[in-house]
Chains A and B, each alone.
Chain A
Amino acid sequence: MAETQRVGEVIQASTGDFVAQCYELYQIPPLGSLVKTKDQSLELYGIVYNAATTSLEPGRRPIARGREEKTEEGIYQTSPQLLKLLKSEFGVVVVGHRQDKKLYHYLPPTPAKIHSFVYLCTPAEVKEFGQSFDFLNIIINARLPVSTEELIGATLRQMSQAYEDRKAFLVAAGKELAILLSGDINQLKAVLGRIKP
């Protein structure tokens, strides 16, 4: 993957997280993937923690349309307007930033701008970012609608794909988690169960 892949646009932003909308329905980056968004001098890194597909108009729920159709794809073919009436969004927790070419594993001074483009990080960027596990602490302490174990598990599984030696990466991450979660062994066990190769 040579080019960075654009996956959406920021539509809501705060210091700790932002929400982006996908350009195409269902073109959501996987849970736990590392994404980035750019400003002039600042590059924000975040992890996809949540995604949702809803109706464009709040309060107007989609209705079932498949009674006459043989396949699910058929529904969208016969009602092409559906693609325009629904939207996919994903939430991103900010875990670091790059300023003056230097990577920091903590929150940026300012939040993302609305309408900033959101890109999926390349494996090279993932590797660079994964050199430090400080972001795990941010995830553990962030109050997110998905469970921490699930998110950490998904993140580490996603990141490990960028490494040739997946196991070594996961063991190193596991050791970091063992220290961070030393007060809560059950949570540690749950996470380890989700990342074991």
Chain B
Amino acid sequence: MTQENARLGIVVSGSLNKGVEVKLDSSASIEDMVVGRFVTIEGQKRRFFGMITDISLGVTDPTLTVAPPDVTDPFIAEVIAGTSTFGTLHVSPSLVIGGDVSTMLEGPQPVKTIPSHFSVVRLASQRDVELVFGTEDEKRFFIGNPLDMDTKVCLNLEEFVKRSNGVFGKSGTGKTFLTRLLLIGMLQKGTAVNLVFDMHSEYGWESRDERGRKVKALKQLFSSQVAVFTLDEEGSRRRKVSTDFVVRIGFDEIEPEDIALLRQTLNLTELAVEAVYQLSRRFGKGWVEDTLKLKATEELPEGLNIHESTLQNLQRGLATIKRLPFLMPHSPNNAVKSILEYLERGTNVVLEFGRYTDITAYILVANLLTRRIHARYREAMERAVGEGTAPLRPLVITIEEAHRFLNPEVSSQTIFGTIAREMRKYNVTLLVIDQRPSGIDSEVMSQVGTKITCLLDDERDVDSVLTGVPNKGELRAVLSKLESKQQALIFGHAVPMPVVLRTREYGADYKDFLPKQAEKDIEKLWE
């Protein structure tokens, strides 16, 4: 029997809703138990697979807590350990991995019952974990290891991209690394084409880890499959990034919805947003410039009733946008068109913001581009349904600072809210990255398929991430005990059960991350 199969204890009580209590054997030290570890429970008919969600201490007689025995004596300490004083584990069984017909035919099944009294609980073996999380193959991507184990936890990326997904965590907990890992996975397995709105220019060419070492990003690993777009040509050149396209946006491309989304960032009043719609209707495409040219309310065309202060408020806001250097009266190139061309060819697009890390620029550009891409995808899908042609390849749009797009006030207006809610049907999903999930509309949050969360400590953030999860209290305990580095809790659509991971190492050796084709090419050289 290996260490992993070591017997931990026996089930003494529990319920399906709340999980089972396991009394620890005296041979198992409570200090070796870790929240988030996997265990198997051998019931009379079935084998259960679960996770330790809480650990506690018990005594048979409350007198012991008042007048503790002399545990400095090793004999007394040894005798009372596991008898008068004992440890208990709280385990939530989440899967049945053996014993009945359906698990034999279809693999692990969700639990519908609990193990009987005094069923033996053991640490899960490598094989059990592999049975649950699968092994790396064409669809599954190795994303990390369970705590204290060498087994690989693999994410089924084909399932993953069918829903919108979220990566959450406090600043500095490794969201960027995780996201990069996921993007690489999607590229490697070719399950979807990606559009990344890369606010801090970390995903395109290279970035640095916490220790300041350079790490390669997508373009360096998958040069033929990735196109780097930039808003800041100079910045990219300075960083020696070879870009494929410089994005310029014309004023004539800005629509009232884009301004509505920026209401908070630009400090606009409700009335100013109202006015935007009126103005654009009246002025048409050139409304931004026309509005900025107005000196006073008297110059307003007839029929427009806008208050002086509202106009000033709006003009101040528009002036802020106008100062963004990548905006010009009329764009010489059509960014949306070329992004779509790349995407349709199956090339992934990373849009670097360079020095425009300002949130106004980010919201404006992301929203503006996405809305048009969304329209195109919708069209294509409808045509595909009507004519029976192949639909476009699934598209995953990655956005950072997601709460700015998806907060309850704007989520109903922005295209991202729509995508999160329904675009799965049109083959477009989101990968939202956020450090403040409580800011995201709960309606959107409930539609997020797979959630990957690093450490969060704000109560509200934890609550919002765990909305709609059955055993919330237990996961909360696990989540708040994550280490601040390289650890994440994954749960939702693409994994059979919640799992705490030590994320895969990235940045030292890229061999495993290269596209499969490249490996074959290298092999061919030797033939």
A contact set with B: CB distance below 8 Å: 167, 170-171, 174-175, 177-179, 182-186, 188-189, 192, 196-197
Q: Does B15 contact A (CB under 8 A)?
A: no
| Further contacts, 6 of them, CB under 8 A, given A171-B75, A178-B60 | A167-B75, A175-B26, A175-B79, A178-B84, A179-B83, A185-B67
Contacts of A170 in B (CB 8 A): 75
Contacts of B61 in A (CB 8 A): 182-185
Q: Do residues A186 and B63 form an inter-chain contact, with CB atoms below 8 A?
A: yes
The size bracket of the interface on B is 10 to 19
- Bound complex: CA A167 to CA B79 (Å): 11
Do A192 and B83 contact each other (CB < 8 Å), given the known contacts A182-B60, A182-B61, A185-B63?
Answer: no
Q: Which chain B residue has the least Cβ–Cβ distance from A167? A: B75
A-contacting residues, B62-117, CB 8 Å: 63-64, 67, 69, 73, 75-76, 78-80, 82-84
Q: Do residues B79 and A174 form an inter-chain contact, with CB atoms below 8 A?
A: yes
A-contacting residues, B27-75, CB 8 Å: 60-61, 63-64, 67, 69, 73, 75
- Which one of B60, B69, B78 lies within 8 Å of A189 (CB-CB)? B69
Contacts of B60 in A (CB 8 A): 178, 182-183
Do A185 and B84 contact each other (CB < 8 Å), given the known contacts A175-B26, A192-B69?
Answer: yes
B contact set with A: CB distance below 8 Å: 26, 60-61, 63-64, 67, 69, 73, 75-76, 78-80, 82-84
Contacts of A188 in B (CB 8 A): 84
- Bound complex: CA A174 to CA B77 (Å): 10
- Bound complex: CA A178 to CA B79 (Å): 7
- Bound complex: CA A27 to CA B70 (Å): 38
Do A171 and B78 contact each other (CB < 8 Å), given the known contacts A183-B61, A185-B61?
Answer: yes
Contacts of B64 in A (CB 8 A): 185
Q: Do residues A178 and B75 form an inter-chain contact, with CB atoms below 8 A?
A: no
Q: Lowest 9 CB-CB distances: which A-B pairs, in order? A: A174-B79, A178-B83, A182-B60, A196-B75, A185-B63, A178-B84, A185-B61, A175-B83, A171-B78
B9 CB to closest chain A CB, in angstroms?
15
B14 CB to closest chain A CB, in angstroms?
22
Q: Which chain A residue has the least Cβ–Cβ distance from B61? A: A185
- Bound complex: CA A95 to CA B79 (Å): 24
- Bound complex: CA A188 to CA B83 (Å): 12
- Bound complex: CA A170 to CA B26 (Å): 15
Q: Which chain A residue has the least Cβ–Cβ distance from B64? A: A185
Q: Do residues B76 and A192 form an inter-chain contact, with CB atoms below 8 A?
A: yes
Contacts of B79 in A (CB 8 A): 171, 174-175, 177-178, 192
A181 CB to closest chain B CB, in angstroms?
9
Contacts of A184 in B (CB 8 A): 61
- Bound complex: CA A184 to CA B80 (Å): 13
Q: Do residues A196 and B73 form an inter-chain contact, with CB atoms below 8 A?
A: yes
- Bound complex: CA A175 to CA B61 (Å): 15
Q: Which chain B residue has the least Cβ–Cβ distance from A177? A: B79
A131 CB to closest chain B CB, in angstroms?
19
Contacts of B67 in A (CB 8 A): 185
- Bound complex: CA A195 to CA B28 (Å): 24
Contacts of B78 in A (CB 8 A): 171, 174
Q: Identify the interface centre among B26, B78, B79, B84: most chain A CB within 10 Å of its CB.
A: B79
Q: Can you give 15 contacting A-B residue pairs, CB < 8 Å?
A: A167-B75, A171-B75, A178-B60, A178-B84, A179-B83, A182-B60, A182-B61, A182-B84, A184-B61, A185-B64, A192-B75, A192-B76, A192-B79, A196-B76, A197-B75
